[in-house]
Structure 1
């Protein structure tokens, strides 16, 4: 017997999600949709009330209107943490949840790895290795260094824990400042002009909002230490890429580790590819074996809550973006 509500799994690989939901919610009406183009027709044909959606083919092509203009869709469960590709939406008509926290530990390890890569000079040593050149070099500790965390959500807090374990000083910025575990100082965004110059590493972990677009721009780079390293695991658009390029060309910062970009995939002719002191990764800091299972487990739990009429976990406020 079919048990409502009707669910669409909008991912490019629905087998795992189908298997999990059959185990946790036998009888639930679940339909796969593995393309952007087919989502509107799938919703129309099934009269789906819930859509689990992963942004698997870029932001620009994402079928936002198919979800938000549907008369039947009441809940969109985003399989990742970012929801900027959906905004704005009317929370009176549709509820949006995300999987924030499912990949926080992995993203924190990515950021820690980037810091260690720079402090241990690994990219420079790798270039010498390729040339079979024994060139004397040195390494430096991150112990005693200062990390500035932009955003103290799941990822920011996970990174703060690791940074403190490595003996670092942690400075945090969040929209509503309050004491936060493993963060030595917590400030509001208005304090950033005084914080840029204190940081050896800057980790960007904020959602893309109107208030955060271009947050790291020319003024920020001008205020940073020449030895500072930027690590971005947030969303393309938070860092002003033109300002970043200018800073790199002028040697105003040591380098950057970038997992997100204003245009994804990063165009092959983009200048960022050519910098030896820039790590470019394909938006994969949250992609690890097991992330999807965690996101789907949260979704399955929320389906049970939805069926019981209880409050859903990880409901996103469209005004705050998280």
Structure 2
């Protein structure tokens, strides 16, 4: 930390966090956008990535001569981590906990929308068609949650509350987990997906999870199964997923994240009636920016007091360890 007040760089895109008047009373604050980061980062003690999808830090890393702490206003840190940062002594914290309940509710909403064929009802309403049909129940349906961190756990608890049977997929296999019961190892996903009606992707994007759901995993799923992705688009082989959905290999998907965002107009996913598409918003429930701001203010107070920071990321694993 600087001898006097710490120097904080805030990388932003549009609006600023509402905690900044409080922070300015305790620090020298430099507000920049990505193009200006290289000139602002020298001498800075801390960096707030309010523009949380930016990858600009790697480009200016050679100028980060005093940096000790980076806080990311997001749960995922895959856009940030690179070898130089991993090998440095710079502490990285994220916004774990802010998105748990909103994403869990979004997953439940996607499951209900597909089980009750709400898109089909909307299409019939639009076309003025009265057509009776049956829909699915979700009690006793099996859900496999890929990702056993805090968001995955909140999702498991919510889905259990509506009567679904839950198992998890994580780095290591285990039994008697408080939220998942059985957790399967990621390497075994192909052998277990066929037992489940819903496969929910919430895992962080790491070298171990990139492309985890490929054509062979999709082929191993039930023809009646649905896939939900609220993690990262790169967890799934998108071309294989489009093929599986168009060919009836699986029944449907609710997708909030994609390999390229915004999803290109040329993507075949747009044209599939068994796909629900949303614009990477599953965690962004009303008040989310205020909650992100409050979490950073708490962590900044801890930083200036020399106290233990919240949500310290294991830079090798790519996420905050612990359940």
TM-score (normalizing by structure 1): 0.91
User: Which stretches in structure 2 are left out of the alignment for 5+ residues?
Assistant: none
d(CA) in 2 for partners of 1:149, 1:3? 47
d(CA) in 1 for partners of 2:105, 2:303? 33
> Which of residues 60, 68, 81 is equivalent to 1:74?
68
Q: What secondary structure sits across from 2:34 in the alignment?
A: coil
Which residue pairs with 2:106 in the alignment? 110
Decide whether the 8 Å contact of 1:258 with 1:279 is kept in 2. Answer: yes
Q: What secondary structure sits across from 1:266 in the alignment?
A: coil
> Which of residues 262, 276, 279 is equivalent to 2:259?
262
Q: What secondary structure sits across from 2:213 in the alignment?
A: coil
Deviation sequence 1:298-320 (CA, Å, 0-9, x none): 21121122122222111111211
TM-score (normalizing by structure 2): 0.91
Deviation at residue 23 of structure 1 after TM alignment: 3.2
Distance 1:298 1:284, change over 3 A: same
Q: CA RMSD of the aligned region, Å?
A: 1.9
Distance 1:306 1:186, change over 3 A: same
Q: What secondary structure sits across from 1:38 in the alignment?
A: helix
Decide whether the 8 Å contact of 2:13 with 2:51 is kept in 1. Answer: no
Deviation at residue 227 of structure 1 after TM alignment: 0.7
> Which of residues 268, 287, 294 is equivalent to 1:297?
294
Q: Any residues of structure 2 matched to 1:1-322 within 5 Å, and which? A: 4-15=5-16, 17=17, 19-23=18-22, 26-33=25-32, 35-44=33-42, 47-55=43-51, 62-66=55-59, 68-69=61-62, 70-88=64-82, 89-178=85-174, 179-322=176-319
d(CA) in 1 for partners of 2:133, 2:60? 55
Deviation at residue 166 of structure 1 after TM alignment: 0.5
d(CA) in 1 for partners of 2:172, 2:295? 26
d(CA) in 1 for partners of 2:264, 2:15? 28
Decide whether the 8 Å contact of 1:64 with 1:85 is kept in 2. Answer: no
d(CA) in 2 for partners of 1:261, 1:108? 19
Of 86-95 and 287-296, more deviation after overlay is shown by 86-95
Deviation at residue 25 of structure 1 after TM alignment: 6.5
Deviation at residue 230 of structure 1 after TM alignment: 0.5
d(CA) in 2 for partners of 1:95, 1:212? 23
Deviation at residue 277 of structure 1 after TM alignment: 0.7
Q: What secondary structure sits across from 1:292 in the alignment?
A: helix
User: Which stretches in structure 1 are left out of the alignment for 5+ residues?
Assistant: none
d(CA) in 1 for partners of 2:283, 2:4? 33
Q: What secondary structure sits across from 1:30 in the alignment?
A: strand
d(CA) in 2 for partners of 1:181, 1:90? 32
d(CA) in 2 for partners of 1:182, 1:311? 27
Q: How many residues align?
A: 313
Q: What secondary structure sits across from 1:247 in the alignment?
A: helix
